Amino acid sequence: MQNVNRQWRLKARPQGMPTPETWEMVEAPVPDPGDGQIVARACWLSVDPYMRGRIAAGPSYARPVEPGEVMQGGGVGAVVRSRNPAFKPGDIVESMGWGWQDYATLNPQGTRKVDLAHGPMRHALGVLGMPGLTAYFAFLDVGAPRVGDVVVVSSAAGAVGQVVGQIAKLMGCRAVAVAGSAAKLAWCRELGYDAAVDYKSGDLRAALAAATPDGVDVYFDNTAGPIFDAVMERINLRARIVQCGTIDTYNRSGQPDTGLRHHRHMLVKRARWQGFLYTDYVHRAEEGLARLGAWVRDGRIRYREDIAEGIERMPQAFLRLLTGENLGKQLVRVAPEPGAA
């Protein structure tokens, strides 16, 4: 067992786009668990867009990381020390409260054992974890799809978006992807999206009109910004707009958002616009995992991951999300999985 715990700590709050120097790596002692706790070693760490909000000042749905603190984030790995009878060394566990570090001290609340029968452990951070379950509950509960609905998804090739499109197809909908590169559009088409629009090239409104000749019934919005405005112009009577993410605004938090005003359009179309937060659904995770897990096992849902190597790459891996370089769920491999050659 390695005798230092490499940790990424927030150095200073960024203004605008963060840089790798926003964080600094330090070496701390490997922690000992307190009574009832475990210490686990990370094999995989997750980077997710919400982390941009955690390093911004100002009110949100969770406490921000303070300068000097270990950066928040999810991870999956093996228990190395346990002072809790429910966990033993070698158990594979996942927690959203891991932090950007090799060794995490975890409380049993918020720590789940990962059953490797469902798939590789890294899936617990992706398709069978927070992003996959976000796609599942946000689309099915808030989007309330019906057979024949036209569903538009932004950031469609990402950790959440690729699952939304495939569930939309399983529900008998027409699925339209919006994403930022030719490679992402190709992946979306391979997954079964009926049409794919590149919002970075050409006329977005014209491309959306061509892809949605019968309008839009469900808009699964991961981005806000100009994509939201363009899709809103095409919503149908009683459309449902799922506000899952607003990544277009993440580097200008605290500033008023600008853009078109859609109030009259919402009224005329009697549409519903509703926010979603995964934490409201954590208590239903097992229910979602049972159905999603079956779809993944029988190949009806496929999932692409984008893997960075080494804990040293955490900041760069995170920044890929904000620049659109990731194709699929961005992960960082921190240590070999137990038993790996």
- List residues near ligand NAP by CB under 6 A: 48-50, 131, 134, 155, 158-161, 179-181, 184, 222-223, 225, 227, 244-245, 247-248, 276-278, 321-322, 324, 326, 329
CB of 204 to ligand NAP, least distance (A): 11
Closer to ligand NAP at the Cβ: 62 or 210? 62
Most distant CA atoms of the chain, gap in Å? 63
Nearest to 175 by CA among 183, 184, 167, 165: 165
CA distance 134 to 155: 14
Closer to ligand NAP at the Cβ: 103 or 281? 281
Closer to ligand NAP at the Cβ: 53 or 119? 53
CA distance 167 to 303: 12
Rg for the chain, CA atoms, rounded: 20
CB of 130 to ligand NAP, least distance (A): 6
Closer to ligand NAP at the Cβ: 79 or 289? 289
CB of 80 to ligand NAP, least distance (A): 28
CA distance 192 to 303: 12
Would the CA dihedral through 126, 327, 316, 54 be positive or negative?
negative
CB of 44 to ligand NAP, least distance (A): 15
CB of 179 to ligand NAP, least distance (A): 4
CA distance 333 to 239: 40
Closer to ligand NAP at the Cβ: 48 or 149? 48
CB of 279 to ligand NAP, least distance (A): 7
Q: E strands within the chain?
A: 4-10, 23-29, 38-46, 75-82, 92-95, 103-106, 111-113, 150-154, 174-179, 195-198, 216-221, 235-243, 272-275, 305-309, 329-333
Closer to ligand NAP at the Cβ: 79 or 178? 178
